[in-house]
């Protein structure tokens, strides 16, 4: 299907190029171009974000800023070493060279696991549009989305304290597989091993990545052991609808959630 | 919508092509450049048969718009051999019987070449991971992995200039 | 690698039955096409360019089972770039009967649907256009008026007496010489079941399996100056393609030339002759080269998979491990049309009771039609699912008797000269030696009497 391809070289130029019907912003192309190839999407024009200065990782005093068009492969760097599991679980190395972190927020389930990690990190988004720039918590993005003439420009989060990060992606194959469940958590414990605070995010349980207040409440105030972790998983399984697709049934996802929650939180 | 001129380097050769809007790189390589070794498998980024290097990075040419290849350096399977001498990976794929129907082979070799360019002495696990986006439905993965490891060993024995 | 493979060849086994030495077996001989594969210079059918090439995209049934009230092509014909749209009226002999030339009928699958559709994805109208995009857009604008009929989607439901019959002969079963199933027996199974110590009965089932070749099914038909048509195809079956296309198109075989032999993955999925007749017909009607290639979605949805099967095995077993009775019921889901399934069902029946000698055997196999994608050939079709069922059953018998599963198989394995249920004498049996070698390779020790067994003699 013929469509124009725009290659703007700044964010204002991107926003200008997006004005008009049927225009779609594309960074890696692994979702949008696939849909065009499959005859599911018929844009009038695509606006590439690759040359708009939206790639790169900047370390600030307390936080990390990642450009929305940064390829997943470019996140393999020492300050983000804790994300190694997230990266290695993301499709194939070739796709990681193309797919971007910002674009992955728009991936339909069961894809989009990096959003699970970013939710647990309590990330916020930079948004640009015809009315200027704004910031938005990732939670709000999943609830409300952004307007068609806006784009995500970047992601920001604070690095988790050493030893607090947890990640698990349960898949049918070891490599290059969409998730049955994805679990990300930042868990802070006191000197007695009691959970003082926890942010737990899940993929595979709802239409998009979600925080799990039920799991967080079940875990806080308890000693972080197998029973507490499994209990948090059971609470999550009861609280979230889960869904069925080619990878797993909703029943299976609910059934194995406590096991994977235990493995995610304790590694056992 | 008008066609536009796009320039890139293909296997070391300058190209300037008139490209219709919205063309995929895989189609331009095959139909306009005659680089038929890049195969069109699924159009979804799921099979890896169309893997080419864009500025030395392996990518899936079915998901790359040709207009975005402007100014890029593209390497396809036709550019893997030099002066009609096969690359070590190509020799190893022959020697280890790592081809069956051959449809995935070019993509496999391009994905493996990206690995060896970055990591000349990979562990088996690294080979498996590097090829995890390339599907072989004849299920010949074991000889393919063996071929990549054999190629790495072959390259290690060569003088640096020849590699 | 060559050394590794050679090490696995046990030249000592059957040495006495062999004249001379192996020249190819066990040797790593280079493939003649390997250098072309690794250099990217292998030419698949789609790697040829033809000026003026037209593209086919098929408008397909959106229903599992329906009468067609009418086909409105006006919106599709109005799409820019559309050259021609073919319907069943354009097909000279609108019967697709893959095994016609070996005498297996009846004619029951139309090349393009006429008054009804029997599965979702059944081809109805072929759009020929200047570009694949235009053909795809127009195919989406072919308006088909349906009158829905009850769909039968389960094999066993299709066999119920009150099931709606989806086939013109009034039944959902393929008829073998006047019988609604294929039957094989030897001995007296019922009597044997009265004498056995154990009866073990289990059911097994499989789902359809798609071959998913990396290169989808496709062909390009090209009008030649001499009035003939060249067919560049990735078919696995060049002569099937030639024969069936000629029959469908009503032309002498010599008017068609099939150029193939380079297949980007087939596994049986490129044996049915689906795309070529339409491509040639398009070339005949337009005078231009025509390409018809499946999209990935079509390859997954409408290319014929391995049939789903349900198998029930009832075994009568003696305390000493002899299986003296085996009753097998096989249901093969042909989908909406026959393709290779009636033949695959015969294979499934003839393959039982597996590579074992059982004196009393009853086999009943039904080839069942449902409103699902027609199933057809795939790697050992008719045999593989049955083998799975038989071997799981053998393990279950071993567990029941507390026997070593290797020894149970060696005890019951067929030997040269024994009679199989379908009255063919066993020749060239090797199961005993294979089981012995497998045990040896995994370090599983067998008692001397089992190590001494041979396929060449009983004992």
| Percent of residues, chain C, with pLDDT higher than 90 | 89
The distance of Cα C446 from the centroid of its chain, to the nearest Å, equals 38
Residue B127's pLDDT is: 98
Alpha-carbon distance of A98 to A31, in angstroms, equals 10
Last residue of a domain, one of A133, A158, A183: A158
Q: What is chain A's mean pLDDT, rounded?
A: 96
Domain range C54-148+212-301, CATH class: alpha beta
Q: CATH number of the domain that A11 lies in?
A: 3.30.43
Residue C104's pLDDT is: 81
Query: Looking at the predicted structure, is the pLDDT value of residue C1 above 60?
Result: no
Please name the residue that has the structure tokens 């469908």: C248
Q: How many CB pairs under 8 A join A and B?
A: 89
| C15 or C242, higher pLDDT | C242
- The answer to the question of residue B162 being in a domain is no
For chain A, say whether C136 makes contact (Cβ under 8 Å).
yes
Give C296's contacts in chain A (Cβ within 8 Å). Answer: 38
What range does the domain containing B110 cover?
A: 88-157
Domain count, chain A: 3
ipTM, two decimals, is: 0.96
Do both A63 and A91 map to the same domain? yes
Whether the per-residue pLDDT at C459 is higher than 80: the answer is no
> Do A219 and A246 sit in the same domain of this protein?
yes
Same domain, B70 and B128: no
What pLDDT digit, counting tens, does each position of C165-216 carry?
999 889 999 999 999 999 999 999 999 999 999 999 999 999 999 999 999 9
pLDDT band at C285 (very low <50, low <70, confident <90, very high): very high
For residue B150, name the pLDDT band (cuts at 50, 70, 90).
Answer: very high
The string of DSSP codes covering C130-190 is: SSHHHHHHHHTT-EEEEEE------HHHHHSTTSPP-STTSSSB--BTTBSSEEEEES-HH
pLDDT in tens, B47-106: 999 999 999 999 999 999 999 999 999 999 999 998 889 999 999 999 999 999 999 999
A161-210 tens-digit pLDDT: 999 999 999 999 999 999 999 999 999 999 999 999 999 999 999 999 99
Asked whether residue A66 falls in the same domain as residue A99, the answer is yes
pLDDT at C19: 84
Domain end point (choices B40, B60, B79): B79
CATH number of this structure's domain C182-208+305-403: 3.30.365.10
Q: Are residues A251 and A175 in the same domain?
A: yes
A213 and A122 in a common domain: no
Q: Do C40 and B37 touch (CB under 8 A)?
A: yes
CA distances from C138 to B13, C72, C89, C219, C303 (A): 39, 12, 19, 20, 22
Both B62 and B112 in a single domain?
no
Nearest-angstrom CA–CA distance, B51 and B28: 14
Q: How high is the pLDDT of residue B163? A: 47
How does pLDDT run across C211-259, given as a tens digit for each residue?
A: 999 999 999 999 999 999 999 999 999 999 999 999 999 999 999 999 9
Domains C54-148+212-301 and C182-208+305-403 equal at CATH topology level: no
Instruction: Find the CB nearest B99 among C34, C46, C47.
Output: C34
At a CB cut-off of 8 Å and minimum separation 6, what does C65 contact? C116, C117, C118, C119, C148, C149, C150, C151, C152, C166, C371
Domain CATH for B61: 3.10.20.30
Q: What is the pLDDT of residue A268?
A: 82
Model confidence at C99, in pLDDT bands (50, 70, 90)? confident
**What pLDDT does residue C26 have?**
77
Residue A93: list chain B partners with CB under 8 A.
Answer: 58, 111, 114-115, 129-130, 132-133
Statement: residue C273 has pLDDT above 90: yes
Region C312-323: mean pLDDT is 98
Residues contacting A125, CB < 8 A, separation 6+: A105, A135, A136, A137, A138, A141, A152, A153, A154, A155, A156
| Residues B144, B123 within the same domain | yes
Long-range CB contacts for residues A252-256, cutoff 8 Å, separation at least 24? A252/A180, A253/A180, A253/A181, A253/A204, A253/A205, A256/A170, A256/A180, A256/A181
B163 domain residue, yes or no: no
Closest CA to B93 of B43, B127, B56: B127
Q: How far apart are the first and last CA of chain B?
A: 45
For the segment C299-314, the average pLDDT, to the nearest whole number, is 97
What is the rounded radius of gyration, in angstroms, for the C-alpha atoms of chain C? Answer: 26
Computed over every residue of chain B, the mean pLDDT equals 95
**What are A151-167's pLDDT values in tens digits?**
999 999 999 999 999 99
pLDDT at C2 over 70: no
> In this complex, do A176 and B133 lie within 8 Å of one another by their Cβ atoms?
yes
Least confident of A187-191, C105-109, C169-173, C383-387: C105-109
Residues A93, B64: C-beta atoms closer than 8 Å: no
pLDDT of residue A248 exceeding 50? yes
CB-CB under 8 Å, C37 with B93: yes
Range of the domain at A230: 165-266
- Out of A158, A173, A207, a domain closes at A158
Looking at residue A157, its pLDDT comes to 98
The pLDDT value recorded for residue B52 is 98
Whether residues A178 and A201 share a domain: the answer is yes
Chains that touch C (3 or more CB pairs under 8 A): A, B
Average pLDDT score over residue span A61-85: 97
Residues 6-25 of A with CB under 8 A from B: 7
Q: Is B107 domain-assigned?
A: yes
Q: CA nearest C4 in B: which residue? A: B96
Band of residue C3 on the pLDDT scale cut at 50, 70, 90: very low
* B32-47 mean pLDDT: 96
DSSP per residue over C296-328, as a string? HHHHHHTS--BPPEEEEEEEEE-TTS-EEEEEE
pLDDT tier at C7, thresholds 50, 70, 90: low
- Residue C254 is classified by DSSP as G
- Residue B147: its pLDDT value, please? 98
Q: Which two tokens stand for residue C30?
A: 């280079």
Q: Do C133 and A38 touch (CB under 8 A)?
A: no
Chain B residues 76-95 with CB within 8 Å of chain A: none
Residues B99 and B139 in one domain: yes
State which of B52, B79, B106 marks the end of a domain.
B79
The shortest C-alpha distance from B103 to chain C (Å) reads: 5
* Spans of all domains in chain C: 2-44, 54-148+212-301, 182-208+305-403
Is residue C4 pLDDT above 60, yes or no? no
Task: Express as a percent the part of chain A with pLDDT over 90.
Answer: 96
Query: Whose CA is closest to B65, among B133, B18, B19, B10?
Result: B19
C129-142 pLDDT, tens digit per residue, is 999 999 999 999 99
Q: Give the DSSP letter string of chain A.
A: ---EEE--SSHHHHHHHH-STTEEEESS-TTHHHHHHTTS---SEEEE-TTTT---EEE-SSEEEEETT-BGGGG-SGGGGGGHHHHHTSS-HHHHHH-BHHHHTTPPTT--THHHHHHHTT-EEEEEETTEEEEEEHHHHHHH---TT-EEEEEEEEPPPTT-EEEEEEESSSSS--EEEEEEEEEEE-TTSBEEEEEEEEESSSSS-EE-HHHHHHHTTSB-SHHHHHHHHHHHHHHS-----SS--HHHHHHHHHHHHHHHHH--
Mark yes or no for CB contact B93/C214 under 8 Å.
no
The predicted model gives C393-402 an average pLDDT of 98
**Are residues B55 and B104 both part of a single domain?**
no
Is C6 a residue whose pLDDT tops 60?
no
> What CA–CA distance (Å, rounded) separates C23 from A10?
67
Q: What are phi and psi of A135, to 5 degrees?
A: -110, 155
Does position A96 have pLDDT exceeding 80, yes or no? yes
Q: Tell me: pLDDT of B45 over 70.
A: yes
pLDDT at B162 over 60: no
**Owner of token pair 């030249």:** C11
From residue C385, alpha-carbon distances to A10, A76, C33 in Å are 59, 45, 32
Model confidence at C347: pLDDT above 70: yes
Q: Is A163 exposed, middle or buried (0-12, 13-18, 19+ CB in 10 A)?
A: exposed
Beta bridge mates, A166? A185
Whole-prediction pTM value? 0.94
Beta bridge partners of C82: C129
CB of B155 less than 8 A from some CB of C? no
Is the bond into C106 cis (omega within 30 degrees of 0)?
yes
> Residue C295 CA to chain centroid, in angstroms?
21
B10: Cβ–Cβ under 8 A, 6 or more apart, which residues? B29, B33, B35, B74, B76, B79
pLDDT at position B161 = 54
- Evaluate if residue A3 carries a pLDDT over 80: yes
Tally of domains in chain B? 2
Q: Is C297 on the interface with A (CB under 8 A)?
A: yes
- Model confidence over C413-453: pLDDT tens digits? 999 999 999 999 999 999 999 999 999 999 999 999 999 99
Kindly determine whether residue A38 and residue C297, on different chains, have CB atoms separated by under 8 Å: yes
Which one of B30, B61, B79 terminates a domain?
B79
Question: Is A148 in the same domain as A207?
Answer: no
Instruction: Answer whether residue B29 is part of any domain.
Output: yes
Q: What is the structure's pLDDT at C12? A: 85
Do the Cβ atoms of C37 and B39 come within 8 Å?
Answer: no
Contact between chains at B43 and A3 (C-beta distance less than 8 A): no
Give how far Cα A119 sits from Cα of A113, A151, A182, Å: 10, 19, 12
């Amino acid at each position: 299907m013929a469509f124009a391809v725009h290659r703007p070289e700044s964010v204002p130029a991107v926003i200008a190029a997006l004005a008009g019907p049927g225009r779609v912003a594309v960074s890696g192309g692994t979702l949008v171009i696939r849909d065009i190839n499959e005859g599911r999407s018929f844009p009038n024009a695509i606006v590439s974000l690759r040359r708009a200065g939206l790639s790169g990782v900047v370390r600030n005093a307390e936080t990390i800023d990642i450009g929305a068009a940064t390829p997943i492969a470019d996140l393999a760097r020492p300050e983000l070493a804790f994300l190694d599991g997230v990266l290695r679980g993301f499709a194939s190395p070739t796709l990681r060279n193309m797919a971007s972190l910002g674009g992955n927020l728009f991936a339909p389930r069961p894809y989009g696991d990096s959003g699970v990690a970013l939710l647990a990190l309590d990330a916020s988004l930079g948004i640009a549009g015809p009315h200027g720039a704004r910031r938005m918590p990732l939670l709000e993005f999943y609830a409300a989305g952004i307007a068609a003439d806006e784009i995500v420009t970047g992601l920001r989060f604070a690095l988790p304290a050493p030893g607090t990060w947890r990640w698990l992606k349960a898949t049918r194959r070891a490599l290059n597989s969409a998730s049955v469940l994805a679990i990300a958590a930042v868990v802070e414990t006191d000197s007695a091993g009691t959970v003082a605070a926890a942010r737990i995010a899940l993929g595979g349980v709802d239409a998009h990545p979600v925080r799990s207040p039920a799991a967080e409440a079940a875990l806080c105030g308890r000693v972080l052991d197998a029973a507490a972790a499994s209990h948090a998983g059971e609470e999550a399984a009861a609280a979230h609808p889960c869904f069925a697709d080619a990878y797993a049934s909703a029943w299976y996802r609910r059934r194995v959630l406590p096991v994977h929650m235990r493995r995610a939180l304790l590694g056992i | 919508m008008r066609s536009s001129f796009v320039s890139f380097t293909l296997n070391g050769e300058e190209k300037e092509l008139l490209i219709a809007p919205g063309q995929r790189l895989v189609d331009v390589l095959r139909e306009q450049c005659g680089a038929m070794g890049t195969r069109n498998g699924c159009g979804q980024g799921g099979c890896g048969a169309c893997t080419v290097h864009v500025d030395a990075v392996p990518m899936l040419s079915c998901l790359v718009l040709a207009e975005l290849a402007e100014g890029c350096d593209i390497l396809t399977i036709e550019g893997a051999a030099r002066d009609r001498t096969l690359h070590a990976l190509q020799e190893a794929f022959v020697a280890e019987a790592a081809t069956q129907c051959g449809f995935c082979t070019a993509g496999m070799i391009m994905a493996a070449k990206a690995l060896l360019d970055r990591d000349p002495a990979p562990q088996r696990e690294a080979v498996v991971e590097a090829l995890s986006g390339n599907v072989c439905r004849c299920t010949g993965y074991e000889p393919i992995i063996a071929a990549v490891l054999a190629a790495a060993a072959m390259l290690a024995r060569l003088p640096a200039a020849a590699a | 690698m060559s050394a590794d493979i050679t090490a696995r060849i046990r030249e000592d086994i059957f040495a006495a039955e062999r004249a001379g030495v192996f020249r190819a077996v066990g040797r790593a001989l280079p493939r003649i096409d390997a250098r072309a594969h690794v250099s990217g210079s292998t030419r698949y059918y789609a790697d040829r360019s033809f000026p003026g090439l037209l593209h086919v995209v098929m408008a397909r049934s959106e229903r599992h089972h329906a009468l067609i009230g009418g086909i409105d092509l006006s919106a599709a014909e109005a799409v820019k770039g559309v050259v021609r749209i073919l319907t069943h009226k354009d097909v000279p002999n609108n019967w697709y009967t893959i095994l016609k030339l070996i005498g297996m009928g009846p004619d029951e699958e139309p090349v393009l649907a006429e008054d009804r559709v029997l599965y979702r994805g059944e081809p109805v109208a072929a759009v020929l256009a200047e570009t694949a995009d235009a053909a795809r857009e127009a195919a989406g604008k072919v308006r088909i008026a349906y009158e829905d009929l009850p769909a039968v989607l389960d094999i066993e439901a299709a066999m119920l007496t009150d099931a709606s019959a989806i086939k013109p002969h009034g039944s959902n079963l393929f008829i073998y010489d006047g019988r609604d199933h294929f039957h094989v027996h030897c001995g007296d199974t019922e009597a044997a079941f009265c004498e056995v110590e154990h009866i073990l009965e289990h059911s097994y089932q499989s789902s359809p399996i798609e071959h998913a070749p990396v290169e989808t099914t496709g062909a390009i038909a090209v009008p030649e100056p001499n009035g003939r048509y060249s067919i560049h195809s990735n078919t696995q079956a060049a002569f099937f393609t030639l024969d069936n296309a000629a029959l469908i198109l009503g032309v002498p075989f010599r008017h068609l030339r099939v150029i193939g032999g380079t297949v980007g993955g087939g596994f049986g999925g490129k044996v049915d002759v689906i795309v070529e007749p339409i491509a040639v017909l398009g070339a005949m009607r337009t005078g231009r080269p025509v390409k018809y290639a499946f999209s990935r979605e079509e390859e997954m949805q409408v290319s014929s998979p391995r049939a789903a099967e349900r198998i029930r095995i009832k075994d009568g077993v003696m305390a000493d491990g002899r299986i003296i009775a085996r009753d097998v019921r096989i249901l093969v889901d042909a989908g909406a049309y026959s393709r290779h399934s009636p033949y695959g069902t015969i294979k499934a029946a003839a393959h039982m009771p597996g590579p074992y000698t059982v004196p009393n055997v009853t086999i009943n196999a039904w080839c069942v039609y449902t409103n699902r994608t027609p199933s057809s050939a795939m790697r050992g079709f008719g045999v593989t699912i049955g083998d799975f069922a038989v071997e799981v059953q053998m393990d279950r018998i071993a567990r029941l008797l507390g026997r070593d599963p290797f020894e149970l198989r060696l005890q019951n394995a067929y030997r040269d000269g024994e009679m199989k249920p379908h009255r063919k004498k066993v020749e060239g049996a090797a199961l005993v030696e294979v089981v012995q070698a497998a045990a040896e390779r995994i370090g599983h020790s067998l008692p001397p009497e089992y190590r001494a067994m041979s396929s060449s003699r009983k004992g």
